Amino acid sequence: MKKKSLSAKKKIHNKLLIHLKNPIISKIYKKFQNFNKLNLNKLNFSVAVSGGSDSLALAYLSKCYSISNNVKVKYYHVNHKLRKDSSLEAKNLKILLKKFDIDCKILNWNGKKPKSNIQSIARFKRYELIRKECLNDRSNLIFVAHHLDDLYENFIIRLLRGSGLKGLVSFNKFITNYDDEFKIFRPLIDFTKKDLDFISTRVFKFKFEDPSNKNTDFKRIRIRNLIDNLKKEGMDFKKLRLTINNLSDSNQTINYYVYENIKSNSKYLRKKRHYILNSNFFNQPHEIMFRSLIELITKIGTKHYPPRGKSISQLLFKFKSGEIKKINISGCILEKINNSFIIYREK
């Protein structure tokens, strides 16, 4: 690189790093830095950038970390092409970030778009596009800008759906395994949107907000508005955070017995990719047996997401009662043979 270019880049870096002198930004950055040093098993990582204030804050913190620790960070923005202006917005985002020495690659979702369940399908496509790009770049993790407000939002949505304990606390994790090859990191889950707005406004002085974030046709947006109203009414969300943490502890306890059940009452035949389950596998408290089975189905099956709890409960009732001896669940076959059970992938 030419000396002039190096000088210009150094100048940009200094302008970015000087914001770390702000006490609010400094406090957030130190926690972000400690998270990275504690959890990264290798130096390089990738960042998802939507263009909203939370993802811009994450982009800034990641850039500062890369400068200070001399590590390589890649940035990705997914253009879903669900709105006519999305391609232009993606292009402008790339140009604006380039001024801060952040090279953001645009990943386009091409092809037919859904007419229903749009947000859920778009989220799935977003992760699939990023996952593919990361693995091509020999990286197996992505940083996303989920924050404390997202945690509350997700908890209430799951509560309204009638989710069990595992579903209620699933978002309360710094690290989630998307699959066996790819991990999702949430280093900002303890910070509020207000914290992240402060960083992005002070550093970038711009942000892109998806108009769908104000569309009350989507349940998630209605829940977001409900949370805002509850805050105005004085609801103590610190107590809600404490409740979620307590539920997470209970969930970890159940997980311990789930893995004990799998270890003691199942055997994996690697060549056939079969699990053999003894009768004790099903002689456990319902939640233990239920989760154990879903864990094995997810490993063996062809579906990315586990089956819905309601559907698997209905099938299991018929299976255990002897009404049926062979069932299809989420790309797997569960079959009873004498006093044993086997799970194998559907052909």
Q: What is the DSSP string of 276-289?
A: EE-GGGGSS-HHHH
Which residue bears the tokens 């609010």?
24
**Quick one: 311 exposed, middle or buried, by C-beta within 10 A (0-12, 13-18, 19+)?**
exposed
Q: List the beta bridge partners of residue 75.
A: 47, 104
SS3 of 273, please? coil
**Hey, what are 273's tokens?**
């990719």
Q: Where are the alpha helices (DSSP H) in 213-325?
A: 219-232, 237-265, 286-300, 309-320
d(CA 298, CA 292): 10
Strand locations in 5-83 (E): 45-48, 73-79
Specify the DSSP element, H or E, that contains 157: helix 148-161
Give CA angle at 64 (11, 106), nearest 5°.
95
> Which domains occur in the chain, in start order?
11-235 (3.40.50.620), 257-345 (no CATH)
d(CA 29, CA 299): 37
Q: List the beta bridge partners of residue 269.
A: 274
Long-range contacts of 239-246 (CB under 8 A, 24+ apart): 240/152, 240/155, 241/148, 241/151, 241/152, 244/151, 244/155, 244/168, 244/169, 244/172, 245/172
Between the CA of residue 72 and those of 31, 66, 150, 307, what are the distances in Å? 20, 6, 28, 38
- In tens digits, what is the pLDDT along the chain, a chain of 347 residues? 555 567 888 899 999 999 999 999 999 999 999 999 888 866 689 999 998 999 999 999 999 999 999 889 999 999 999 888 899 999 999 999 999 999 999 999 998 888 888 888 888 899 999 999 999 988 889 999 999 999 999 999 999 888 889 889 988 888 888 887 899 999 999 999 999 999 999 999 876 776 666 777 778 889 888 888 888 888 888 889 999 999 999 999 999 999 999 999 999 988 888 899 998 998 899 889 888 988 888 888 766 566 666 667 777 777 766 777 787 877 888 888 877 888 888 87
